[in-house]
Amino acid sequence: MRRLLAHRFSLPLATAALGVGIVTASSSILNNHPQRRPIFTSHCAPKINKPAEAMSEENIPGLYSQDKLRSMSINITGMRIPYHGKNESFTEDQLVAREPFSQFNNWFERAAITEGIEEPNAMCLATATKDGKPSCRMVLLKGYGIDGFKFFTNYCSRKGRELEENPWVSLNFYWEPMKRCIRVEGRVERLSVEESTEYFHSRPISSQVGAAISPQSQPVPGREFLLEKEKELLANVGENKCVDKPETWGGFVVIPDVIEFWQGQTNRIHDRIRFRKRAPGECPDNVLVHEGENGWVFERLAP
């Protein structure tokens, strides 16, 4: 098996075939990755100070009328690209092991060196309130192994609050150039303060400051408010370039009980192989449900 360590912008691999232990990206990899740059989005509509008569659909930037939307030339229903061909299916005999972590490691390793995949560790994290109201967002995987999948966040953010009241989550990795996807289901646990602090101080100083000054998911007066907070903290940091990790910031590990591997097929008979923890008293028949390793079973799902 080709080792991911040969690729300098990927997460380090586990040192054993099963990915023993949690693997954490080194600070040099994090700092040198070409995609380590800020990405800004806005969830608020721009404030428009215009008289009421000027507030027509035609005069509001970025707002399309229904007639204009209907006349647009983009045919969404016709968007379709080829995936894998009939001779490129993903079958059970191609599994690198009868447990999911080695298979994840194999696909992740390939994603990290595949052209067009700049952040192989980008994943969609879905959470839900205790009442079942879902939300999702993109986060970055910062370590993985037989113990689970790690990420870091603000504990007071929306996802942090939801994880406190409902620890069940789902992760989704989608690597479009490979036409492959991995879905993970499980529950989260907090990482230790020591591990969170170690990772926090491995980040660039700008990222440490950004995490320290941001009341994540809370309304703020504007971007200048955050920039002023950043300026103040940078002035106080001084030459030692050290920011204290906020008590409200740290890591989680997702402990999986389901990991599904999906590969797209052009004929839409996609390949889906799901690993799940064996149910109490379950006896795999090795026809529909196959015996795995380390308490796992696996099965093929219809697309």
Q: Which residues carry out catalysis?
A: 268
CA dihedral (198, 203, 208, 211) in degrees, to 10, reads -90
Between CA 244 and CA 248 the distance in angstroms is 11
Under 8 Å CB-to-CB from 114, ≥6 apart: which residues? 120, 175, 177, 178
At residue 287, what is the residue type? V
Tokens representing 116?
A: 């067009």
Between CA 105 and CA 19 the distance in angstroms is 7
Contact present, 205 and 243 (Cβ < 8 Å): yes
Neighbours of 213 (CB within 10 A): 19
Provide the H-helix boundaries in the chain.
27-32, 66-71, 100-112, 158-165, 193-202, 205-213, 223-237
CA distances from 273 to 123, 150, 266 (A): 19, 23, 17
Q: What is the DSSP letter of 4?
A: G
Cβ-count burial of 266 within 10 angstroms (0-12 exposed, 13-18 middle, 19+ buried)?
Answer: middle
